Amino acid sequence: MATHTPPAGADLGFESDRLRRVWYGFIAVLLAAGAVALYVRLTQGLTSTNLTSIVPWGAWVAFYIYFVGLSAGAFLVSTLDTVFGLPGLDRISRDALFVSLVSMAVALLFIWVDLGRMDRMFFPFIWRQFSSALSWEIHAYVLYMGVIGSSLYFSMRADLARLADHSSGLRERVYTLLTLHRDETTAAAERVDRRWLKRIGIAGIPLSLFFVVGGEGVLFAVASARPYWNSGLFPVIFVVSALLAGTAFMLLLYVLRTRLLDGATIDRDLVDRMGTLLIGLIIADIAITAIELLISVVSFHAEVIETWQVIMFGEMSWSFWWFMIGAAWVFPLVLLTNESWRRQPSVAVVAALSIAMGVVGVRFNLVVPAQILPVLEGLPHGSYFPTAVEWVSSFGIMGVGLLLYTIGAEILPLTPLPEPESDTQ
C-alpha cells in the first residue's frame, strides 16, 4: 500500500513558482511567434524564405544538423557514466539522455519544415531506396531514438517505481505506465537495469557515431558536385563538433538545473572535469578544421579555395570570425584554461553558452558557403541570409524543445533520487 509520502529528493520541478511562471511565459512567446511564422510558411510556401534553386539549403538545414549533433553529443556524454562508469557523471547521464531525445525531435521538426512538400514526410518509409544514404540515415534515426528511449527507461525505472509507490491519482498512473509495470526496487532488480543500460549504451555508441552524426556528414560528403563537401574529413568534423556542442550544453544544463530546479550543491569537481573535456574537444575541433583548410589550400582546387574565401572574407565571414572562431574557440579557451576560473559555475555557464552558440556558426559554415558558388561555370552565384520567417520559425521550434524538456524535468526523475535503505536488500 502506498504511503503517499514523497521519497527523498522527489520534489521535482522549479524551486520558485515565480520562476516557473516567467519561464513558461517565455516559452509561450516563442511558441506563439513560431506558430505565426509557421502559418506564413504553410500558406506562402518557400517563397517566404530566401531559399532558391541555387541555395536550396539554409537556416533550417543548419539548425537540423546542429540539433542532430547536439543529440549525438549528449548521448555520448551519457555513455561516459552508463558504459564507462566515470565517477561523478551519474548526476547528468539521465539528463543527457533526455536532452538527446528532445534534440532529435527538434532536429526532425526543422527538416520537416524545410521540406517543399511537408505532407510527404512518410515517403522514405513507404518507398525505400537502399542505395540512398539519406534513406539509411532516416532509418538510423528511428533506431537511434529507440536506443535513447530504452536507455532512459532502464536508467529511470527504479526511481519511477518509487515515485509511483509514493504518488496518487494521475501521477501514480503515469509513473506506473512508464515503468511498464516493473515495480521492483531491490538492488537485484537495479543491477539488471544497469546491465541492460550498459548493453544498450555500447550498441548506441557506433550507431550515434557512424550512422547518426557521422552519417549526417556522409550526406554532405557524397555530394561530389560540391568539392567543399566532398571530403573524407567531413563526417569527422561533424562528430567532433557534435561532441563539443553536446558536452558544452550538458555543462550549461547541469549548472542551471542544479541551481534553479534541484536546489542542490554544484559539484565543482564535475564542472572542472567537463571544462577540461571541453578544452580537449575545442583543440580537436581547431585541429581538424585546420587540417581540412590545409588540404584545401595545398590541393589547389579552385572551387574549394573560393569557398573558403567566402567563409573567411565573404558574406559568411560574420559566422566564421564571430561565432566559430570567437564564440566556439577563443573566448571559451580563455575562460577554461584558467583552472581557478574553470571551477567557477558562473564562468562555466558563460563558456558553455558561448560554445553552444558558436557551434551554430560552425553549422552555417558547413551548409551555406558551398552553395553560393555555382556548380557549373557561367551559372549565377548564390546569395543567402535567412528571412524573418526562417528566424522566427526556428525560435518557435526551439521553443517546442524547451517545452518538452521542461515538462520532462518537472515530471521525470532526471536526477537520481537518493536510494532508500529499505531498497538495498
What are 254-268's pLDDT values in tens digits?
998 888 777 778 999
Residue 190 confidence (pLDDT): 94
> pLDDT: is 100 or 310 the higher one?
100
Q: How far apart are CA 138 and CA 302, in angstroms?
A: 34
Rg of the chain on CA atoms, in Å? 22
Site of grid cell 560552425: 362
Q: Identify the CA nearest to 285 among candidates 225, 216, 365, 187.
A: 365
Q: What string of DSSP letters covers 185-239?
A: -SHHHHHHHHHHHHHHHHHHHHIIIIIIIHHHHHHHHT-TT-TTT--TTHHHHHH
Least confident of 169-178, 295-304, 381-390: 295-304
What is the SS3 assignment for 55?
coil
Instruction: Report the pLDDT averaged over residues 224-235.
Output: 84
Q: How far apart are CA 205 and CA 212, in angstroms?
A: 10
CB 370 within 8 A of CB 226: yes
For the segment 147-163, what is each residue's pLDDT rounded down to a tens digit? Answer: 999 999 999 999 999 99
Handedness of CA 159, 164, 170, 175 (dihedral sign): positive
Residue count of the chain, please give it: 425
Q: How far apart are CA 352 and CA 270, in angstroms?
A: 14
What's CA 363's distance to the chain center, in Å? Answer: 13
Residue 347 confidence (pLDDT): 94
Tell me if 247 is assigned to some domain. yes
Tell me if 159 is assigned to some domain. yes
Residue 99 confidence (pLDDT): 97
Q: How far apart are CA 59 and CA 356, in angstroms?
A: 16
Q: How far apart are CA 154 and CA 168, in angstroms?
A: 23
Tell me if 368 is assigned to some domain. yes
Instruction: Report the pLDDT averaged over residues 357-374.
Output: 90
Q: How far apart are CA 421 and CA 186, in angstroms?
A: 10
| Cell of residue 220, nine digits | 554532405
Q: How far apart are CA 186 and CA 51, in angstroms?
A: 57
Q: How far apart are CA 214 and CA 224, in angstroms?
A: 17
Q: Identify the CA nearest to 65 among candidates 220, 229, 286.
A: 220
User: How many CB atoms are closer than 10 A to CB 177?
Assistant: 11
Instruction: Report the pLDDT averaged over residues 97-105.
Output: 97
Interior angle at CA 384, CA 383 and CA 389, nearest 5: 150
Tell me if 211 is assigned to some domain. yes
Q: Identify the CA nearest to 103 among candidates 312, 400, 395.
A: 400
Residue 34 confidence (pLDDT): 97
What are phi and psi for residue 128, nearest 5 degrees? -80, 140
Tell me if 2 is assigned to some domain. no
Q: Identify the CA nearest to 148 among candidates 187, 95, 111.
A: 95
Q: How far apart are CA 96 and CA 94, in angstroms?
A: 5
What is the SS3 assignment for 21?
helix
CB 207 within 8 A of CB 201: no
Tell me if 290 is assigned to some domain. yes
Tell me if 186 is assigned to some domain. yes
Which amino acid, 402? Answer: L
CB 246 within 8 A of CB 77: yes
pLDDT of 374 strictly over 90: no
Domain extent, residue 287, equals 50-386
Residue 126 confidence (pLDDT): 85
Residue 150 confidence (pLDDT): 97
CB 86 within 8 A of CB 256: no
For the segment 187-214, what is each residue's pLDDT rounded down to a tens digit? Answer: 999 999 999 999 999 999 999 999 999 8
Mean model confidence pLDDT for the chain: 90
Site of grid cell 509514493: 166
Question: In the chain, how many domains are there?
Answer: 1
Residue 421 confidence (pLDDT): 56
Least confident of 4-8, 96-100, 123-127, 374-378: 4-8
User: How many CB atoms are closer than 10 A to CB 420?
Assistant: 11
Contacts with 202 (C-beta within 8 Å, 6 or more apart), sequence order: 83
The four Cα atoms 152, 155, 159, 161 give a dihedral, to 10 degrees, of 70
Q: How far apart are CA 327 and CA 330, in angstroms?
A: 7
The CATH number of residue 70's host domain is: 1.20.1630.10
Least confident of 12-16, 57-61, 82-86, 117-121: 12-16
